[in-house]
Amino acid sequence: MPTTSVAARFALNLAGLLLLPAASWAADAPPTAASSVMESSFPAPTSAQLQAGAKVAQTCAACHGADGNATSAAFPKLAGQHADYIAKQLHDYRIAKGAKQPARVNAIMNGMAATLTEQQIRDVALYYSRQTFKPGVAFADKKTLKLGESIWMAGIPDRAVPACVSCHGPGGAGMPSRYPRIGGQWQGYLETELQMFRNDRRTNSPEMHDIASRMTDKQIAAVANYAAGLRAPSETVR
Ligand code: HEC
Ligand code: HEC
């Protein structure tokens, strides 16, 4: 019966996704499936936690927006970003014990992160992760779209750059507790971060350092333009 076989296939797909040790996206997979079955390592926030997070966010709002949708391209959007990832970044902006400088160097954020308690980091991460993400301008640079799309979907084989889609997902939603959401983020910000990974001013991800250091400026700009235009489903579990 056709209905049974569809249901069985769906169940198999789901089981396959749940059993996968790392993200692996079939090119024809529906964009929502995998990210909605991966759970955040953060439990769902209580309303008291969200209120506490909103209070901390008052000190962030001037740059990142009260709801995490920064209106200036100078500041990354935090709305809908995975809570685990936000918390990790806030830790990486601090100087770890025994280290000379933070793993992520940025004068503003190094100062901001240093003032937060563990509790505040957790609360604000949960708060921003639950805000509705508003994506910006799609595919601003039409000329580099093809190049950006091919890097996103297939990587750059002759430079051993892996496909971005394999970790960040078809719509750029990433995966809670593993890969950040980058779809719909500001192009300029994404480009800056790839340059920072490459130039070792952001040393918190050996894998992204390897990837970015094998790319040219032109390739970085093109893939950042493509990622900024992606539209990840907003209902994914964070
Ligand atoms: C004066 C402006 C300003 C304020 C206030 C500010 N930020 Fe930021 N934030 C920035 C800038 C600029 C960056 C990008 C820095 C970089 O390239 O590493 C950033 C980056 C971040 C990131 C990394 C985002 C990513 O996608 O990796 C997080 C998380 C973050 N800020 C959280 C906060 C929180 C939480 C607060 C409030 C407690 C806050 N920021 C306050 C300017 C600000
Ligand atoms: C093997 C998995 C993997 C692949 C493949 C991958 N990434 Fe990443 N990416 C990550 C992880 C993990 C992070 C978070 C690093 C950290 O903890 O700061 C990240 C972070 C980023 C960030 C920073 C996001 C932010 O908000 O600051 C950008 C930009 C990015 N990746 C772009 C890309 C692009 C473009 C490609 C393809 C050329 C790519 N990534 C391929 C795993 C991957």
pLDDT tens-digit map of 147-190:
999 999 999 999 999 999 999 999 999 999 899 999 999 999 99
Residue 71 token pair: 């209106």
Average pLDDT of the residues of the chain: 84
Q: Residue 2 above 70 pLDDT?
A: no
Mean pLDDT of 184-201: 96
Specify the pTM: 0.87
- Pocket-forming residues, ligand 1, beta carbon under 6 Å: 56, 59-60, 62-64, 75-76, 78, 86, 89-90, 104, 106, 108-109, 112, 116, 124, 192
Given this model, what pLDDT does residue 41 score? 79
Q: Residue 23 above 80 pLDDT?
A: no
Atom of ligand 2 nearest to the CA of 161: 38
Of all protein residues, whose CA lies closest to atom 38 belonging to ligand 1?
60
pLDDT tens digit sequence for 68-103: 999 998 999 999 999 999 999 999 999 999 999 999
The region that residue 54 occupies, defined by phi over 0 for left and psi between -120 and 50 for alpha, beta otherwise, is alpha
